[in-house]
A and B are shown apart, each in its own frame.
Chain A
Amino acid sequence: MSGPNGQVVVASGVTRRYGEGEAAVDALCGISTGFERGRFTAIMGPSGSGKSTLMHILAGLDRPTTGTVTLDGEEITGLDDAALTRLRRDKLGFVFQFFNLLPVLTAEENLVLPLSIAGRRPDREWLEQLIHTVGLADRRTHRPSELSGGQQQRVAVARALVSKPAVVFADEPTGNLDSKASEDVLRLLRQAVDEFGQTVIMVSHDPSAAAHADRLITLRDGAIVHDAVPGSADDVIELMKQID
């Protein structure tokens, strides 16, 4: 299942260029790195550093200009739309900044949406465990409009976990939450890694978010400038200052 050295996602020589000729912008200039299974990685960097682009490419939402991405042993850079759709459905989980729940479905229905799309029945036990983990046992029939932002994002995290994907990508998952709700969501992601052995890759510009991760990759101008175990939130703030 895993790639070399137990790495579930491997990027090698990934570049991404937007536009052509004079106006061309290099968002990523040669990124090579791997992500180990069962780890929580945070990607940080100032605006325009390429952190979002990197995540999109790792998740198969965008294609690199050069270089390759291998996901769970499968080279994804050349896949067509149908294969990518299947890949996202079966092997990836997503958490977005704007919770992106379907307003017409209940919390529980939103939670199992990836399985419903795939036409699979959820494993009852796993589902109950998830619902209790995210603390929404008494809210399962509520619609998103009846939930707070934090609760909505916790449903979104559970939705990303429900199909037991190879990797969960979280794109600024706390960008729209207050600090209390942010803390809950981050603890949840941490729990997913520690208790369920989930792999999580998160893009964030929130230093306290990065402090929850096992590994912090820092990007600047499309290149990795720092890759280490993050310290406390204050350490991360200090690091970001240096990079800027």
Chain B
Amino acid sequence: MTRLAVKSLWARRVRALTTTLAVVIGVAFVAGTYILTDTTFAAFDEIFSESLSKTDVVITARDEVEQETGEVPSFSATLLPKVRQVPGVRIAAGAIGTPGGFFDAENEAIGTPFAPKFITSVLPPALEAQTYVEGHRPRNRTEVSIDEGAAESADLELGETIKLASVERATPYRLVGLTRLGEATFGGASIAGLILPEAQRITDKRGEFDQISIAADEGVAEQTLRDRVQRIAPSSVLVETAAENAARNSDQIRDNLGFLRIALLIFAFVALFVGAFLIFNTFSITVAQRVSEFGMLRTLGAARRQILSSVVVEALAIGILGAAIGLAGGYAIALGLNGLFVAIGIDLPTTGLVTKTRTIVVAVLIGIGVTLVSSFVPALRSTRVPPIAAMQAIELPRSRRRGIVYATLAVLLGAAGMGLLLLGLFGSAEGGTAAGLMGAGAVAVILGVSLFSPRLVRPLASMAGRPLELLRRLIGRLARENTQRNPARTAVTAAALMIGLAVVAFVTVFAAGIKSSIASAVDDNFQGDLVIQNSDGFSPISPRTAEAAARVPGVELVSTLRSAKAKLLNGDGGEPRVSALDPNADEVLTIDWSEGGPSVLRRLTDREVILDKGFAEGNGFELGDRVRLLTQIGARPDLRVVGEFEDRADLLGSAIITQPLIARAFDQSDDTIDFVNLAPGADSQQVQDRIDRLLDRDFPIAAVRNQQELKENQEGQVNQLLGLIYALLALAVIVSLFGIANTLALSIHERTRELGMLRAIGMSRRQVRTMIRYEAVITALIGALLGMALGVVFAALIAQPLEDEGFALSYPVGILLLMLVFAALAGVVAAIAPARRASRLDVLDALHYE
């Protein structure tokens, strides 16, 4: 029977190949995700451990609360002389490693926007892990080194001038050295080196270090030295061996980038899910078409079990082949995904592609598992073929009860799915669990709708077919009737596209909601004329920026906003973001006060806090209550609640404190955003141009934007993310197109004689092609309509709990209509090959086809 399975697979190899492709794409996506993320993590591991290759013990500031910006506190340089006295210390040096911005002579940013750029101080050669591939180390305040990757991408050569920007004004330096660190490339990230005093000056860390690197004397173990240093170090710093430090950094990166792997796996899952539909459908149709063959085998004495195993072996073969090709395809996907990320400015470090055993095992299991599971029902049906099927054409028994069972199952699944979704949304489950519940709910709803959809095929096909029938009466009519001939088959084919489009529609509607919410938040909250922010839209900028902008003619006042994350020690815990406002903030911001008013803000003291209403309610805080926080540097401010505000835009986070407090207790003196008000009568464009010139010269990291540009910038970021998601979903949509092509090919095969008759009585090749094309278009439109309806419903549901936070859903009707057009075009593409084949049928052969 195995021989038979292999032979029948070979006889239908083209179809088997398209079926295999469905497995291949999903498996490749999973494998590619693992390969890419493993590679990225390996690259980070390499960078972290390599940078400490000559170091034995590292001192860094203790980081109590990890910040969104990734910045870590610095500590006093007075520790260094004490460390040098510790027995066993051969050499110790303080160093700077602070994010900044690099610019070439034309003021163009070096490196990609979202990758970190570090301004570092050069270490003594005994500790320095970087090697100089060209030139030499910086020797005075005017010299700089940069990693060769950045130099290459920005086309820099020794002797050129580059500008570094940090807290102090941007300063030009002469490039004197190109460095390399180990084997990994930094991606879009970059490292510049200055001599220590200059690095401390430009980052405004005079008398401070970000790190002390220590090398041990011969024969002194790392752990021993660490323990000795620990004894003389204050509790505000962390003393680690090099290995410990590298491992901690690696873990942190895995935490921070873990979401990336999960997000990619979700998209891979969507592609696999769609592939499963394709496999199910193809096997269902081929089993139906092979009824007489199975009947013949049964008359020859084959047992039901043997029939079953012949189909299962076929599925197994497809699964194994799909897994193998998919694994290989994983490398292409890994490279493709990386390219996609680079295109939108996320340029991650890379090293040689990493394939773990886990990747291979998962890929093989998924490939075989998905194929077996989705071919199981058709395989079971093949065993119900009676021997008589060899003699006469029979339909497989399809009892009336089945329809009712399916419909009941569909309704139950849909209801259960909805229940899970709502439980995830409104239940008490937190973060990951809630998302899991919602995901499982969505999958169940989709399965329910797919099971029910055969009943929807008739009306939907009539709806989708109407325009085609108006366009080409008979051909449109025939195409529509053909899609309605076997509603179950059309439904499953359409369902594959439905899944992809449900996600596309969901994301589109949701993103439209985010964009319109941003726009209304900007309109509602910003009274100011201009804002200055980091050109990436979220990283902090130097406080000197606001000081300089305040002196620009035509500027009346500049109000700054700083923010930091803290740990909440009482209430329900968590890590709220706190903001510090200038007392004059009410002149640039509209705050929606629910308790108190602008006077509370003007009189706010360092021992008081104003809370976001939702945050206060969630933690049971009322006016007069105490809020206890833990800050990044380990301070524990204890604050009294003196006011409450509603913050629909989530601009201010959970709490407002004073700027002296955020500087002292949080060590945060960089600005998140500066609001600029113009003097009466000043020309907005003129002032903006002046500030622009100032920023270009002294603070190139920052950008000045008017309200419109602010909205556009934020919307641009949403659009970029949306583009990325569309690209990731494209694979799932492509799989479903294969599904449409496959179903069409199979149904043309069944209708061979009918097509022969149509050709014999005068239908032209062109008319045949048009008919097949319309069938694909109608099927695609059914999938699109169902998918978009599901996506919109999901988006509306999930937006519900967000409405309190100022999220307003808006329906991008134009874009949704455009999606329908795209779906129809996708149908046309899917129909190319089948339509061609159908029109090329030899009339005589087709007429005599049995």
Interface membership of chain A positions 15-42, coded 1 if the CB is closer than 8 angstroms to chain B and 0 otherwise = 0000000000000000000000000000
Whether A159 lies near B485 (C-beta < 8 A) is no
Name B743-766 residues within 8 Å CB distance of A. Answer: 753-754, 757-765
- In this complex, which of B473, B485, B757 has the most chain A Cβ atoms within 10 angstroms of its Cβ? B757
Is the pair B754, A116 in contact by a Cβ cutoff of 8 Å?
A: no
Mark each residue of chain A from 67 to 90: 1 if its CB lies under 8 Å from any CB of chain B, else 0: 000000000000001100110111
Decide: B473 and A104 in contact? CB cutoff 8 A. no
> Is A117 in contact with chain B by the CB < 8 A criterion?
yes
Q: B4 interface residue, CB < 8 Å from A?
A: no
**B767–A102 touching, CB < 8 Å:** no
Q: Separation in Å of the A175 CB from the closest CB of chain B?
A: 13
In the complex the two chains form, is A117's CB within 8 Å of B485's CB?
no
Whole-angstrom distance from the CB of A76 to the nearest CB of chain B? 14
Given known pairs A105-B481, A116-B474, the reply for A85 and B764 (CB within 8 Å) is yes
Known: A61-B843, A116-B473. A85 touches B753 (CB 8 A): no
* Cα–Cα distance between A240 and B341 once the two chains are bound (Å): 80
Chain B min CB distance to A92 (Å): 8
Could you give, for residues 636-666 of chain B, a 1 whenever the CB lies within 8 Å of some chain A CB and a 0 otherwise? 0000000000000000000000000000000
Given A61-B843, A116-B473, A117-B474: A100 and B762 interface contact (C-beta under 8 Å): no
Contact B762 A104 (CB under 8 A): no
In the complex, B482 has a CB within 8 A of chain A: yes
A117 CB contacts on chain B under 8 angstroms: 474, 758, 761-763, 767
- What does DSSP make chain B's interface, helix, strand, loop or mixed? helix
Let me know if B762 and A98 touch, CB within 8 A.
no
Q: With contacts A56-B844, A100-B753, A100-B757 known, is A88 near B762, CB below 8 A? A: yes
Q: Which of B470-507 contact A (CB under 8 A)?
A: 473-474, 478, 481-482, 484-485
Interface contact B760-A94, CB-CB below 8 Å: yes
Distance of A10 Cα from B762 Cα, bound (Å):
21
B753 surroundings in chain A (CB, below 8 A): 98, 100
Contact of B847 with A by CB under 8 A: yes
Bound-state CA distance A98–B754 (Å) is 10
Chain B residue, CB-CB nearest to A160: B761
How long is the Cα–Cα vector from A114 to B764 in the complex, in angstroms?
11
Query: Do B763 and A85 touch (CB < 8 A)?
Result: yes
- Contact of B478 with A96 in the complex, beta carbons under 8 Å: no
Kindly provide the distance from the CB of A190 to the nearest chain B CB, expressed in whole angstroms.
22
Q: Which residues of B contact A104 (CB under 8 A)?
A: 478, 481-482, 484-485
Min CB–CB distance B529 → chain A (angstroms): 66
**Chain A residues whose C-beta falls within 8 Å of the C-beta of B485 in the assembled complex:** 103-104
Query: Which chain B residues lie closer than 8 Å to A105 at the CB level?
Result: 478, 481
A61 touches B765 (CB 8 A): no
Q: Mark B789-830, 1 if CB is under 8 A from A, else 0.
A: 000000000000000000000000000000000000000000
Interface contact A81-B474, CB-CB below 8 Å: no
Q: Known A104-B478, A104-B482; judge A113-B761 contact (CB<8 A).
A: yes
Residues in chain B near residue A56, CB distance under 8 A = 844
Q: Considering only CB atoms and an 8 Å cut-off, how many residues of chain B contact the other chain?
A: 22
Interchain CA distance A81-B839 in the complex, whole Å: 11
Which residues of B have CB within 8 Å of A62? Answer: 844
B465 to chain A, nearest CB (A): 12
Find out whether the CB atom of B481 lies under 8 angstroms from the CB atom of A114: no
Q: A56-B844, A61-B843, A62-B844 are in contact. Are A114 and B761 (CB under 8 A)?
A: yes
Query: How far, in Å, is A169 (CB) from chain B's closest CB?
Result: 9
Residue pair A89, B762 in contact (C-beta under 8 Å): yes
Select which of B765, B767, B847 is within 8 A of A96 by beta carbon.
Answer: B847
Distance between A204 CB and nearest chain B CB, rounded to angstroms: 16
Q: In the complex, A89 Cα to B843 Cα: how many Å? A: 14
Q: Nearest CB to that of A101 among chain B residues? A: B757
Q: How far is the CA of A16 from the CA of B435 in the complex (A)?
A: 71
Given A88-B762, A105-B481, verify A61-B844 contact (CB < 8 Å). Answer: yes
With CB as the reference atom, state the residue of chain A lying closest to B756.
A100
Let me know if B473 and A96 touch, CB within 8 A. Answer: no
Within 8 Å CB of B843, what residues of A? 61
Among B473, B759, B761, max chain A CB count under 10 A is at B761
Cα A160 to Cα B753 in complex, Å, equals: 17
B759 — nearest CB in chain A belongs to which residue? A85
Could you tell me the distance between the alpha carbons of A100 and B848 in the complex, rounded to whole angstroms? 11
CB neighbours of B767 from chain A (8 A)? 117
B761, A102: Cβ atoms under 8 Å? no
A98 partner residues in chain B, CB cutoff 8 A: 753
| Set of chain A residues within 8 Å of B759, measured between Cβ atoms | 85, 88
Q: Is A147 an interface residue (CB 8 A)?
A: no
Determine how close the nearest CB of chain A comes to the CB of B482; give it in whole angstroms: 7
| Residues of B close to A113: CB separation below 8 A | 474, 758, 761
Instruction: Scan residues 190-211 of chain B and give those whose CB is less than 8 A from a CB of chain A.
Output: none
**How far is B485's CA from A193's CA once the two chains are assembled, in angstroms?**
37
Q: Is the CB of B765 within 8 A of A159?
A: no
**How close is B760's CB to chain A, nearest CB, in angstroms?**
5
Please give, as numbers and ranges, the residues of chain B lying within 8 Å of A96 by CB-CB distance. 757, 760, 847
Least CB distance from B584 to A in Å reads 76
- Check: A229 CB closer than 8 A to any chain B CB: no
| Contact assessment for A90 and B762 in the assembled complex, using a CB-CB cutoff below 8 Å | yes
Q: Can you name the residue of chain A whose Cβ is closest to the Cβ of B757?
A: A100
A118 at the interface (CB under 8 A from B): yes
When distances are taken between beta carbons in the complex, the residues of chain A under 8 Å from B474 are 113, 116-117, 119
Q: A61-B843, A105-B481, A116-B473 are in contact. Are A85 and B754 (CB under 8 A)?
A: no
Q: Point out which of B481, B760, B847 has the most chain A C-beta atoms below 10 A from its C-beta.
A: B760
A63 vs B481: C-alpha distance when bound (angstroms)? 34
Q: How far is the CB of B844 from chain A (nearest CB, A)?
A: 5
Q: B760 touching A88 by the CB < 8 A rule?
A: yes
Is B481 in contact with A94, judged by CB distance below 8 angstroms?
no
- Given the complex of chains A and B, what is the CA–CA distance between A225 and B761 in angstroms? 31
A100 and B763 form a contact (CB under 8 A) = no
With A100-B753, A104-B478: A94-B764 Cβ-Cβ less than 8 Å = no
> Of all chain A residues, which has the CB nearest B480?
A104
Residues of B contacting A160 with CB < 8 Å? 761
Cα-based distance from A104 to B747 in the complex (angstroms): 14
- Once the chains are docked, how many angstroms separate the CA of A90 from the CA of B764? 12
- Taken together as a complex, chains A and B put the C-alpha atoms of A100 and B753 apart, in Å, by 8
A82 lies within 8 A of B844 (CB): no
Closest 9 pairs between A and B when the two form their complex, measured CB to CB:
A89-B762, A104-B481, A100-B757, A116-B474, A85-B764, A88-B762, A61-B844, A114-B761, A117-B763
List 18 A–B pairs whose Cβ atoms lie within 8 Å, in order of A's numbering.
Answer: A61-B760, A81-B765, A85-B759, A85-B762, A89-B761, A89-B763, A90-B762, A93-B761, A94-B757, A94-B760, A96-B847, A100-B847, A102-B758, A103-B485, A104-B485, A116-B474, A117-B474, A117-B758
- A56-B844, A89-B761, A116-B473 are known; give 5 further A-B pairs, CB within 8 A: A82-B765, A86-B764, A102-B478, A113-B761, A116-B474
